[in-house]
Chains A and B, each alone.
Chain A
Amino acid sequence: MLFYSFFKTLVDQTVTIELKNDLAITGTLVSVDQFLNIKLDNIKVVDEARYPHMITVKNCFIRGSVVRYVQLPSQAVDTALLQDAARREAAQPSTVQQANVRVK
Chain B
Amino acid sequence: MGDSFFGFNTTLPRDRERGHGEGFDDNFFSGPGDVNSKISDYAARAGEDLEIYDFNGLRQDLEEDDGLGDQLVEANDDLNDITFDVEVSKDGPDFDFVSNTEDFNNSRISENEAFFVKPKRTEPQQQFRQAQPQSGFGNYWAPPGNNYEDNSMNFQSSLHRAPAAGGRGMDDNSPSMVPGSIWGDFSSPRVQDQSYAAAIHSQGNKQPYLNQQQPYGQPTGAGHQRPKTFEEIEAELHRTAGYHGQMPMGDAQAAMMANQGPGKKMLTMAEVEAALLAQGVPPGANGQFQQQSMQQPPQQQQQQQQQQPPYGYGNVDPAQMMALRQQQELMEQMSVEKELKRREQLRQMAEKSRYDKLMTTRDKDFINRIQLQQLASGDPFADDFYYQVFSAIRQRAGLPPPGANKDPMMEVKNKDAGDRNKRGNRREENAVHKMQQQLQRIVNDAKRRPKQSQLSLEGALGKITSHTVRNPRQLLQVSDRKASTQSAQDSPELSSGDNAPKVSTPPRKIVNDRKKVLRLVEDLYMSVLNLEQLRRDAPSPVARAGFEKEHQESIDRWNEDYAEAINKMWTELRIDQATDYTQGHHPFLSILSVPKGKKLIPRIARHCSPEKIYAILKLIVTNFDTLKVCQMATTNSPTHKDQPDFISLEDVELFMNTVVPPLLAYVAEAPLSTLSELLRLMMLRNDVLYVVKSKVALSLLTMFLSRAEILKQGGGTLQGLPPCSPEEIAEWETAYQQLYERLNEHFLSLFPPPVILPGDNQAINAVHLANNADDTYVWQFLAAIAVGASMEQQHSLVTEVRDRVMEDIVMASSNRLPEEQAAHKIANVNLFLHALGLDASQVTVPV
Contact = CB atoms under 8 A, between A and B. Distances in A.
Judged by CB atoms under 8 Å, the answer to whether A and B touch is yes
Interface stretch (B116-124, B468-476, B731-739): B468-476
A87 B483 contact: no
B474 A100 contact: yes
Interface string A69-104: 000000000101111110111011010111111111
Given A6-B387, A8-B403, A87 B472 contact: no
B389 A81 contact: yes
A101 B480 CA distance: 7
How big is chain B's contact interface, by range?
A: 35 or more
A1 interface: yes
A59 to B, nearest CB: 14
Interface of B is mostly: helix
Nearest to A1: B383
Chain A CB within 10 Å, residue with most, of B393, B408, B471, B596:
B408
Interface in B400-423: 402-403, 406, 408
B390 to A, nearest CB: 5
Nearest to B380: A5
Interface string B589-601: 0000000100100
B390 A81 contact: yes
Interface stretch (A9-17, A46-54, A60-68): A9-17
Nearest to B394: A9
Interface string B369-381: 0000000000001
A52 B637 CA distance: 62
Given A31-B406, A99-B471, A103-B454, A9 B390 contact: yes
Interface stretch (B133-141, B498-506, B522-530, B810-818): B522-530
Interface residues of A, number: 35
Chain B CB within 10 Å, residue with most, of A2, A12, A80, A84:
A84
B465 interface: yes
Contacts of A1: 383-384
Nearest to B480: A101
Contact of A103 (B474, B483, B599): B474
Interface of A is mostly: helix
A30 interface: yes
A104 to B, nearest CB: 8
Contacts of B525: 84, 87
Nearest to A31: B406
A80 B532 CA distance: 14
Contacts of B385: 2, 5, 84-85, 88-89
Given A80-B599, A87-B525, A98 B483 contact: yes
Contact of B529 (A6, A84, A94, A102): A84
A88 B529 contact: yes
Nearest to A89: B385
B526 A5 contact: no
Contact of B391 (A9, A100, A101): A9
Interface in A13-35: 13, 30-31
B453 A99 contact: yes
Nearest to A11: B403
Contacts of A100: 453, 471, 474
Contacts of B472: 96
Contacts of A4: 384
Contacts of A101: 480, 483
Contacts of B393: 78, 81
A13 B773 CA distance: 38
B431 interface: no
A8 B387 contact: yes
Nearest to B454: A103
B402 A97 contact: no
Interface string B112-132: 000000000000000000000
B451 A99 contact: yes
A5 B403 contact: no
A87 B480 contact: no
B313 interface: no
A5 B383 contact: yes
B482 interface: yes
Nearest to B407: A31
B483 A85 contact: no
Contacts of B465: 103
Chain A CB within 10 Å, residue with most, of B385, B393, B453, B474:
B385
A89 B451 CA distance: 19
Contact of B402 (A10, A81, A94, A96): A10
Given A81-B390, A96-B472, A87 B402 contact: no
Given A84-B529, A103-B453, A96 B389 contact: no
B386 interface: yes
B522 A87 contact: yes
Given A9-B391, A87-B529, A92 B386 contact: no
A85 B406 contact: no
A82 B386 contact: yes
Contacts of B388: 5
Contacts of A99: 451, 453, 471
B270 interface: no
Nearest to B390: A9
A31 B453 CA distance: 34
B386 A5 contact: yes
B599 A12 contact: no
Contacts of A82: 386
17 contacts: A5-B383, A5-B386, A9-B391, A11-B406, A11-B408, A12-B406, A81-B389, A87-B526, A87-B529, A89-B385, A92-B470, A96-B470, A98-B483, A99-B451, A100-B471, A100-B474, A102-B453
Given A85-B386, A100-B453, 15 more contacts: A6-B386, A8-B387, A9-B387, A78-B393, A81-B393, A83-B596, A87-B522, A91-B529, A96-B470, A96-B472, A97-B482, A99-B471, A100-B474, A101-B480, A103-B454
Q: List the 8 shortest-distance A-B pairs measured between CB atoms, nearest first.
A: A11-B403, A85-B386, A5-B387, A5-B386, A101-B480, A9-B402, A1-B383, A9-B390
